[in-house]
Amino acid sequence: MTESEVFLQQVIYGLSNGMIIALVALGYTMVYGIVELINFAHGDVFTLGGFLALTIVGALGAAAILDPNAAGESSHWLLLFGLVVGAGLFCGVLNMTIDKVVYKPLRRAPKLTQLVAAIGVSFILVNIALFWGGVPMESFGGGNAAAAPKDFPEILEGSNLLGEESNVVLRLEDIAIFAITIPLMVGLTLFVKKSRLGRGMRATAQNPVAAKLMGIDTDRVISATFLIGGFLGGAASVMWSVYNNTISFQMGFRAGMDAFTAAVLGGIGSLPGAMLGGILIGLIRAMSDQYIETRWTNVVVFGVLILILVFRPSGLLGLKQREKV
């Protein structure tokens, strides 16, 4: 492989991984923007999305999906789309329910109390994912190894689009990530900018009391935020599973940590910031793996983060503002 091929390849991987991180980061940043809660459980909601997707694929039968004769080429994309919507809705509703049951009664409690409650929810969800992996279904290994990572079948055909002889690998999965995350991000941006509910979100984020006085149903706005944030997390979990072909009950940990880092890097509360932050983290990881050493990658990622924050204390695209009192 020539140097430029290597670089191009790393850009492809960096962007693909980064887009997924960005999608998860949006969920963190939206919730933070509205209720100032670092939703620790978000990464684990994401995990459950992956488990739901594998359950659906397993129920439909992996063989039927993978057989090119049984179903046409378009059915793969249809399935992928269905999984994104299904897991998205599931995670959205789950996220909203968690908010209703756990966070809402604590809205007036100290911020850190909510944080610990979110940590608690995260543990509960990890346990649910563990049990889910023990469901006696073939896709879960017949329930024998609940804690082991699970294989997620290849939904999109895995050959190299640039030809089998090419050194640079570009697969349908990479394309699919762009094809699904970019419309979601554009749609979200438009929704928050133009729609009535989106305006309500921005107003609530700025000043919940004033928003309420202006007749905005802030409770509904908060619910909607959790719903949308969860939906994006669910969609991301499907993309993650399809891209990595593995899910495990602890997969939300690194994804969540990367996404949280991305959200802060971009400026927490800022939607474009989360997208930019996610893509940057993906790229930094890829470049560090290639040009430094994999074992130093986490150090590089967090070192860059700290450096950036030292010079731009509100993140790359965050607004400079005084802490609310």
Partner 1 sequence: MLTRRSLSVLALAALLSPAAALGQSPNGANRSAQDSQDIIKIVSSLPRTGSANAQTTSMVNGIKMAIAEVGGAIGSRKIVYEDWDDASPQRGNWDPAIEAQNADKAIGDPTVLAYIGTYNSGAAKISMPKLNAAGIVMVSPANTAPGLTKEGFGEANEPAVYRPSGRINYFRVVPTDDVQGAVAADFAKELGKKKVFVLNDREVYGKGVATIFEKRAREIGLEVVGVDGIDPKASNYKSLVTKMKQAGADVVYFGGTTQTNAGQLAKDIVAGGLRATLIVPDGCYEKAFIEAAGNRALEGRVYITFGGVDPEKLEGKGKEFYENYMKAYGDKPEGYAVYGYEAAKVVIAAMQRLYEAGTPITRATVLEEVGRTKDFSGALGTWSFDANGDTTNRTFSVNTVKDGEFTTVKVVN
Partner 2 sequence: MPAAARVAPFSWGQLVVLGGLALVPLLDYAMPSVQLSAPSRWVVVFAVMALGLNIVVGWTGLLNLGIAAFAAVGAYSYGILTCEIYPFQVGFWWGVVLAGLIGAFAGFLLGAPTLRLRGDYLAIVTLGFGEIVQDGLKNLELITKGTQGINPLPAPSFGGDPLASTDVSLWFYLYLGILALVVFLARNLEFSRLGRQLFAVREDELAARCMAIEPDKAKLKAFAMGAALAAVSGALGASVLSSTGEPANYDFQVSILALCIVIVGGIGSITGVLVGAIVMVGLNNVLLPILTQTLQRSGIGSTDNVFSLPDNYKFLIFGLALVLMMRFRPDGIVHSRKAVRK
Give the E-state strand segments of the chain in sequence order.
150-151, 246-247
Per partner kind, with CB cut-offs from 5 to 8 A, the member of partner 2, partner 1, none near residue 210 is: none
Contact 110, 256 (CB under 8 A): no
Residue 305, interface with partner 2 (CB under 8 A)?
Answer: yes
Taking CB under 8 A as the binding criterion, the range among 86-94, 164-172, 222-230, 302-310 that sits at the site for partner 1 is 164-172
Cβ–Cβ under 8 Å, residues 269 and 318: yes
151 strand-pairing partners: 246
Q: Is 316 in the site for partner 2 (CB under 8 A)?
A: no
**Binders in 223-262 for partner 2, by CB under 8 A:** 257, 260-261
Residue 240 C-beta: closest distance to partner 2, Å: 20
Closest to partner 2 by CB, 131 vs 178, is 131
Q: Which two three-digit tokens encode residue 324?
A: 């609310």
Rule CB under 8 A: choose which of 144, 194, 310, 320 binds partner 1.
144
146 binds partner 1 (CB under 8 A): yes
CB of 236 closer than 8 Å to CB of 43: no
In order of 50, 100, 279, 325, the CA distances from 23 in angstroms are 14, 23, 10, 30
Candidates 28-36, 151-159, 182-190, 311-319; binding stretch for partner 1 (CB under 8 A):
151-159
Q: Name, in order, each residue with C-beta under 8 angstroms of 164's C-beta and a sequence gap of 6 or more.
A: none
105 touches partner 2 (CB under 8 A): yes
Token code pair at residue 18: 């980064």
Which residue's entry shows tokens 């554009």?
186
Residues 94/52, Cβ–Cβ less than 8 Å: no
| Binding test (CB under 8 A) with partner 1, winner from 157, 210, 254, 313 | 254
In whole angstroms, how close is the CB of 151 to partner 2 at the nearest point? 18
d(CA 46, CA 253): 10
Three-class DSSP category at 247: strand
Among 58, 61, 82, 153, binds partner 1 (CB under 8 A): 153
Q: Which does 153 bind (CB under 5 to 8 A by kind): partner 2, partner 1, none?
A: partner 1
- CB 318 → partner 2: shortest distance, Å? 8
Q: Is 119 in the site for partner 2 (CB under 8 A)?
A: yes
What residues contact 267, with CB distance under 8 A and at least 6 apart? 273, 277, 314, 315, 316, 317, 318, 319
| Residue 319 DSSP symbol | P
Say which residue the tokens 């928050």 belong to.
Answer: 192
Pick the closer one to partner 1 by CB: 6 or 197.
Answer: 6
- Residue 140 in contact with residue 133, Cβ under 8 Å? yes
Residues that bind partner 1 in the complex, under the rule CB under 8 A: 1, 6, 9-10, 13-14, 17, 20, 123, 126, 141, 144-151, 153-154, 158, 160, 167, 169, 171, 240, 243-246, 248, 250-251, 253-255, 258, 285-286, 289-290, 293-295, 297-298
Residues that bind partner 2 in the complex, under the rule CB under 8 A: 32, 38, 102, 105-106, 109-117, 119-128, 130-131, 133-134, 136, 143-144, 146-147, 257, 260-261, 264, 268, 295-296, 298-299, 301-303, 305-306, 309-310, 313-315, 322-323, 325
